[in-house]
Amino acid sequence: MGNRLAPLIAIIFMHSLESKAKLNYSCFPEVYIRYIDDIFGIWNHSEDELNNFLNIMNNLHPNIKFTIEKPDSEGWLNFLRMSLKINNLQIDRKSYRKQSSKSIFLHADSHHSELMKRNVIINEFKNIDMICSNEVFFNESSELFKSLLLENGYTLELINSLLNKSRSIYNTIPHLFHENSTYHISNQNLKTFCYNHNLKINHSPGDGHCLLHSVVTHTGIPLNQLKLIIRNEFLKDSVTYSIGTENHIKGDSKKQLDLYLNHKVYNLPIVDNMPNILTNSLGQTIFIFQIINNKLHINKIFGNDDRIPIFFLKSGDHYDAIISNIKFKHKHASFKEKFKNASVIKLPYLNENHSKEIKQILLKSNLNILPIFTPGQKLVDVLCKTALENKQCKSKNCTYKDNNCITKDVIYELSCSECEDEYIGKTKRSLHTRINEHHTSIFYIRETQPC
């Protein structure tokens, strides 16, 4: 599909065939998803009916033939760049690469910038992370991609650093828990876990509202607004949230909630139910980290949306927020902004290091010069057939001398012989082609639009 319109035309054409198939055959796939000309479907009927459906699809147009790929002996089905498998009413996913695919990737010695090469690798690791449904499949697919990068000249140290940079703790922590479990014991201590996942502890004030302050740190919701959200959520299902708070010396659950929100009395049974109230009211999943017997225990409280989860560190009755420690560098002034009124000099682009050295020299010397690096003439422009030909104007009675009319990327000026008006224009095409358009325009519109 070399033409830009080809995918769009293919989508429209395939849609028309699908519409005909739906009208002519009552048994249609339960799930039917198509990406241009690749189709994923789930069939709930017999195999004979599937073969009949295939025959109908193949008779819709003489030049279009469909084929069916079924799961292999292990149950895996390849679709686009992923492999799918039904497992206990769920779909397992892992990355897929065709066996016929060559080990071609952006090479480490390429003259692309280092930043671009690093970001391409990071984004590929992110794509693998999104495709794979669990940590086992991610590690398996990552090892295949690592071997591809090693063949293309990248060092293992660089690959591992980019892999760690691509994986956010918010993506990896769900894989630590087995299926729908709510408890995980880490082999790492808290300090090591935070270091490996770019996390840090943000200590909350110990004024009785440390849990609420931790939520404010994560969400940015003002404290007074957060109290109102908690109170409204409690009133929705006060019976459930009151479990475990009965017969307390401070009164019933509603009174305990008032004491906590208004008077910061935190040693109450209702406070133990607060993480559940927060999860249901905010919708975000909450992970509570605790150190028990010198081991890191992580408790998970499921939320109902996919937003970034909230991390707490619980020490007795005190809560602290655990937040990302990734620092973003904000450049207040770019290299070009420092040279707004500078003179511009064009230099050939050789490689990234060469460009950086020249910029550093200009910065240190305080020369008000902005370098612009251009690729220059390519080898294909020199060796291709048209480049070897001696270009000459083929027009008869050409008024331009020395073949100037075939020059491209020019700025030209035209003067009207009747009104002495002047017109300045520019064109990327040859000067001869553009001037001919002006002549044609004057010839056809002279009577309706006199100069």
Percent of the chain beyond pLDDT 70?
Answer: 87
* pTM to 2 decimal places: 0.51
Over residues 429-437, the mean pLDDT reads 80
Which range (8-17, 97-106, 213-222, 393-402) has the least confidence?
Answer: 393-402
pLDDT in tens, 297-343: 999 998 887 778 899 999 988 999 988 765 444 444 455 555 566 77
- Alpha carbons 121 and 407: distance in angstroms, whole number: 42
Residue 451's pLDDT band, with cuts at 50, 70 and 90, is very low
Query: What pLDDT is recorded for position 328?
Result: 41
Q: How far is CA 85 from CA 96, 130, 407, in A?
A: 12, 16, 60
Q: Which of 318, 317, 229, 218 shows the shortest CA–CA distance to 278?
A: 229
CATH topology of domain 183-324: Cathepsin B; Chain A (3.90.70)
Could you tell me where in the chain the CATH 3.90.70.80 domains are found? 183-324
Q: Which of residues 180 and 260 earns the better pLDDT score?
A: 260
- Alpha carbons 16 and 441: distance in angstroms, whole number: 43
Amino acid letter, residue 236: K
Residue 1's pLDDT band, with cuts at 50, 70 and 90, is very low
Look up residue 329 and give its two tokens: 């560098």
* 282 three-class SS: helix
With contact defined as beta carbons under 8 Å apart, do 351 and 111 qualify? yes
Residue 187 has pLDDT above 50, yes or no: yes
Place of tokens 């994986």: 167
Over residues 346-356, the mean pLDDT reads 81
- Alpha carbons 171 and 416: distance in angstroms, whole number: 68
Residue 368 has pLDDT above 70, yes or no: yes
- Alpha carbons 402 and 391: distance in angstroms, whole number: 11
- Alpha carbons 393 and 151: distance in angstroms, whole number: 50
Q: Which residues contact 267 (CB under 8 A, 6 or more apart)?
A: 317
Over residues 228-241, the mean pLDDT reads 90
- Alpha carbons 278 and 209: distance in angstroms, whole number: 14
Query: What pLDDT is recorded for position 346?
Result: 82
Look up residue 104 and give its two tokens: 């071609």
Residue 14's pLDDT band, with cuts at 50, 70 and 90, is confident
Q: Which of 259, 266, 281 shows the shortest CA–CA distance to 319?
A: 266
Q: Which residues contact 282 (CB under 8 A, 6 or more apart)?
A: 215, 219, 229, 303, 310
Q: Which of residues 86 and 420 earns the better pLDDT score?
A: 86
